[in-house]
Amino acid sequence: MQEHRSDAVLFAFEGQPGKPEKECCFDDQYGKASHQKSNLFLRVAKGHFATSHSHINYYIDVTTQKSRLSEAKAVAKELVAAYQHSTIVDTVLCLDGTQVIGTCLANELTKDGFANMNAHQTIYVITPEYTTGSQIILRDNLAPMVKGKHVLILSASITTGYTVQAAVEAVNYYGGTVAGLSAIFATTHECMGYEVTSIFDPASLPDYASFDSRDCPLCKAGQHIDALVNSFGYSAL
């Protein structure tokens, strides 16, 4: 996994998401307490959360990275180093509401002064549509932006891999080539044979765990589900 973490800090809090009872700042690379301020951090809440695919013991909140321009730029600058020298990127396929980051990433890849494969070239930034069965479809006006193109798949997080798997299958189906997989947080070094580039990984959150909803130890222990979570956020129960 590519790691570019000079400014990356893990920002953890306990209690209700968005309403921390206790706030701690950890250095992302070493896992030590730190008071250093950074433009790039990860907000997490420990508990029992249900996604559409699994149960997890941390809710990872990347709302500000996806929505605030300054943080989206910081994420893009961290991720771009993995691709700017040798990877052709024609299209960024944005999952989980990462369009702002994707736009910043495309901008970084086409900047003057960088030894990259995309200088002075246009990069498409697109968002897929989902069927009720969670399959990805591209309408006729978007499909040409994938067909015959090198597509970088960008996700907020890669944990179970279901969403990214659907994206890889869609890129292949529509005649594109997967140029890489990127995320803010990932629990794996590779997915479907492709290397995953992320800023934060399990080393940042060593006790992060994901469970099949039918075999969740937290459920078996009688621990109440704190919230339903997805790429839009959380709904407390």
Residue ranges of domains in the chain, CATH in brackets: 8-236 (3.40.50.2020)
- The pLDDT score that the predictor gives to residue 39 is 62
- Decide: 108 and 84 in contact? Cβ < 8 Å: yes
The larger pLDDT score, comparing residue 19 to residue 214, is at 214
Q: What is the DSSP letter of 134?
A: S
- The pLDDT score that the predictor gives to residue 114 is 53
- Decide: 185 and 201 in contact? Cβ < 8 Å: yes
Query: What's the mean pLDDT in 6-21?
Result: 43
Q: For the whole prediction, is pTM greater than 0.85? A: no
Helix axes 99-109, 69-80, angle to 10 degrees: 50
Q: Exposed (0-12), middle (13-18) or buried (19+): which is 16, by Cβ within 10 Å?
A: middle
CA angle 130, 52, 191 (to 5 degrees): 75
Q: Element (H or E) spanning 166, and its range?
A: helix 162-173
- Decide: 114 and 89 in contact? Cβ < 8 Å: no
pLDDT > 90? residue 43: no
CA angle 165, 169, 170 (to 5 degrees): 115
- The pLDDT score that the predictor gives to residue 117 is 62
- The pLDDT score that the predictor gives to residue 135 is 84
What tokens appear for 225 in the block?
């589900």
Q: Any bridge partners for residue 46, and if so which? A: 58
- The pLDDT score that the predictor gives to residue 198 is 92
Query: What's the mean pLDDT in 116-134?
Result: 79
- Decide: 92 and 125 in contact? Cβ < 8 Å: yes
CA angle 235, 157, 24 (to 5 degrees): 70
Query: What's the mean pLDDT in 158-185?
Result: 93
| Closest-CA residue to 185 (of 8, 50, 7, 6) | 8
Q: For residue range 225-234, what is the model confidence (pLDDT) as tens digits?
A: 999 998 888 8
Report d(CA 46, CA 44) in Å as an integer: 7
Q: What is the DSSP letter of 223?
A: P
Query: What's the mean pLDDT in 81-91?
Result: 84
